[in-house]
Amino acid sequence: MPPHATSNFGGMPGKVMKSMPPVTPPREDSSEAAGTGAKRAAWKSSRKSSSKVMPKEPSPKQAASADLKTLRKSKSGALIPTKEPLKSCLKKPSDGSQKLSVASSPPLSHRSECTQLSMRSEFTESVFEHSELHDGDGECTPGTPKSVEFASQHQEIAPTWSTTPSVADEVLDGEHPSAEHEPVVAAPRRREIPVAFLEAFSRDEDSVADSPHMGPYLIKLAKSHASGENPVKALEYCIRAVKFYERHSQRENVLDLVISLHILAALHCHLGQYEDAVTLLQRSLTIPDLENGGEEHALASFSGHMQLGDTLNVVGKLAPSLQSYHRALDIQKSILGEFDSRVAETCTYIAEAHVQALEFAEARELCEHALVIHTEHCEPGSVDEAADHRLLAIIYSAQGEHSKALDSLVYANDIYVNFDLQLDVATGNQSIGDELLALGRDSEALQCFGKCVGDFKMLKGEHDALVASAHTSLADLFLRTNNPREAKVHCQNALQIYAKKGVGHVPSDVAFGLVNIASILEQLNEKETALLLLQRAYNIQDRIPGQQSTLAGLEAQIGILQNMLRQFKLALQSFENAVAKMKSGTLRNSPLLGLVINQMGITAIELGDIPQAACYFEEAKSVMESTAGPQHLDTLDVCNNLACTYANLGRTEEARELLEEVVRMKEEKLGAVHPDVGEDRARLQVLLSEGQTTTYKRSRKLVEMLTSARKAFHTSK
């Protein structure tokens, strides 16, 4: 925003780029767990149908009896488990109908719902199914929580750090191992639960309380109830399994206890008991012996740190979440080295978390390291490399380097064209259009957006959220090219799509779309409608766990609009809520916090509470000096406001000293003839002659920073 606009805070930006949303869970009706940019494998259970109808909530005896019947039907008298298929979303080519899972990693587009970044909720919702103790109808199936496949005693399978399907999965499916899996992983020797144990368990549980089969069978019962409608019963069985492993854990099978704790934590998360889950995960991290335990213990610790990071992220504790992720990365590097492809996956995953926290420098470093691995140590021109370029483009764009972002997006799209990934090409074109628009190349952006509308309709249908997002991009473009009528038409088209029911819209996609449309309508002087849309978006995001940063940004935007509509009491309340959420997350160290507090001071002035305004301005000054620096122009604007407040309170000497310092530093940065410097000099003269001044400055870049925050907030992602 130019300096001369600092006194007019009426304009919100028209350009709102969807780089990273909050969480976007996959559609339930999606046929595949997809996402070209996904970095985490999503395990989904699909039980094979049985001719026997089982009770909804089988008792232990019923479950044991059912297992016995199954065993007796087999020729060998042994348990014949069914393999639950793996649906991996690790950057598989998109056919136009795929969507990312909740745990997907680098987005292939900051517009496409099928390539959104995710909040870290993969473990919190489904680690129970990922675990080595997870079994399908009696089978212990190897899982891949957060890039880890355990080598538990029950499976006796070589561990691997990759999130890609292992050879063991193919062997369990009865397929021949593919040549692309290297190193070859031995197929597990399935541990079967003996008939004698099941018979004894069905008669008297106490008689087999110390049997080595008790722990795995309790986990199986927990899984049976968790997949039904009784998660509390599942929790009960899992707690019993943990207690069993606590009694019988020895050095050689201590990892069974670790895995059972991970499963129990996931069940607590499923029930919304996140603090209990955090406690269990922290306990699980004290068990592995990283110095003498070998790779299996390192894998267990890696998995625990990643799951803990996910859980902390869900409750909005981004700083400790990032610390946990980095500890996991250090463990992985110590085992695999700096340039393993699986290290690249983890780097990309953590980079997304940093972007969510608006820590773009750290995200850029991690993303560039992943890109080095994929380009120099793996096959060049891969889909993984394209995904890295798209994530890097998001970071470039958030940092204002739109030319670099455009180059990365074009390079990524060339790769997708080679793989004939039509949907990813279309979403890439929309991202390219965003960068062209930011660079002022309006005619080229118009061609990109127009083509995207047609492509999305062909690939996803006329009522898909991607079509709505393309209409929003066109509305933004027409607004910038001074064509408000066309801008309104495209806003209406987008709203009609978002209002459609029964078409499978992801709630967070709808929320982000409403935010984009609200910013355009505000510039079209439809502030009341814009405010309603923002409030609707807030209500949607408020129902999704782990959205504190997103909600903080939305409340700040709501407060801005309420200020414009002179709803000062409501605006102050919105700003207070936003500040509280920012202070509880990583935004407590962001200049955005100081700018919002500055707005609280201006709102307090409008309400006539000058002493309270002075307190707000003093706090804003402290935050801005520590985050942006004492000579930053936004910091100087806050100092200007504080000086004006001091003057109104009769603290003339303090006001004079502060204003003189502001004028001196602005002259050094902007020059003596700059109009902004002239304004401040005139304000100083008024203060010296009359003893007070009442002209306040709003933060020059609050709205722009909110725009950048929305890029990271719609992390989903």
pLDDT greater than 80 at residue 341: yes
Banded model confidence at residue 11, pLDDT cuts 50, 70, 90? very low
Q: What distance in Å separates the CA atoms of residue 707 and residue 347, rounded to the nearest whole number? A: 26
User: Is the pLDDT confidence value at 165 over 50?
Assistant: no
pLDDT tens digit string along 582-637?
Answer: 888 777 888 899 999 999 999 999 999 999 999 999 999 999 999 889 989 899 98
Residue entry with tokens 């949907």: 423
Which of residues 283 and 23 earns the better pLDDT score?
283
Nearest to 508 by CA among 1, 20, 9, 22: 22
Does the pLDDT of residue 329 top 60, yes or no? Answer: yes
Q: CA of 572: how far to CAs of 11, 50, 558, in Å?
A: 19, 60, 10
pLDDT digits (tens, 9 = 90+) for 265-300: 999 998 889 999 999 999 999 999 888 888 899 999
What would the mean pLDDT of 256-270 be, rounded to a whole number?
A: 91
Alpha-carbon gap, residue 222 to 204, rounded angstroms: 19
Spell out the domain ranges in the chain.
3-21+506-713
Q: At what angle do helices 568-584 and 548-564 cross, to 10 degrees?
A: 160
8 Å CB contact between 64 and 198: yes
Task: Tell me the pLDDT of the chain averaged across its residues.
Answer: 73
pLDDT at 210 over 60: yes
For residue 42, list its beta bridge partners. 87
> Beta strands 42-43 and 33-34: pairing type?
unpaired
CA gap 453, 456 in Å, rounded: 5
pLDDT value at residue 343: 96
DSSP-H helix ranges across 88-192: 122-130, 167-172
At 357, the pLDDT band (50, 70, 90 cuts) reads confident
What pLDDT, on the 0 to 100 scale, is given for residue 145?
Answer: 32
51-66 pLDDT tens trace: 233 333 444 444 444 4
Of the candidates 534, 550, 531, 530, the one whose C-alpha atom is nearest the C-alpha of residue 542 is: 550
pLDDT of residue 589: 81
Vertex 90: Cα angle to 275 and 435 (nearest 5) = 95
204 or 325, which is more confident: 325
**Cα(306)–Cα(302) distance, rounded to whole angstroms?**
6
Residue with more model confidence, 310 or 104: 310
What is the CATH superfamily name and number for domain 3-21+506-713? Answer: Tetratricopeptide repeat domain (1.25.40.10)
| Verdict on whether the full-model pTM lies above 0.85 | no
Rama region for 461: left / alpha / beta (φ>0; ψ in -120 to 50; rest): left
pLDDT of residue 81: 33
Angle at 183 between CA 178 and CA 189, to 5 degrees: 80
DSSP run (H or E) holding 86: strand 86-87
Cα 152 from Cα 519, distance rounded (Å): 53
pLDDT at 162 > cutoff 70: no
Distances (CA, A) of 580 to 226, 360, 540: 36, 23, 20
Residue 613 token pair: 């305004």
Task: Give the CA count within 13 Å in the CB-facing half-sphere of 6.
Answer: 24
Would you say residue 326 has pLDDT above 70? yes
Amino acid making up residue 547 = Q
284 versus 165: which is more confidently predicted? 284
Distance CA 301, CA 331 (A): 8
472/488 Cα distance (integer angstroms)? 10
Q: Over 70: is that where the pLDDT of 229 sits?
A: yes
Buried b (16+ CB within 10 A) or exposed e, 222-261: bbbbbeeeebebbbbbbebbbebbeeebeeeebbbbbbbb
Burial group, residue 675, by CB count within 10 angstroms (0-12, 13-18, 19+): exposed
Print burial letters for 379-408: b (CB count within 10 Å at least 16), e (below 16): eeebbbbbbbbbbbbbbbbbeebbebbbbb
What value does the mean pLDDT take over residues 302-317? 92
Distances (CA, A) of 313 to 255, 608, 669: 25, 39, 40
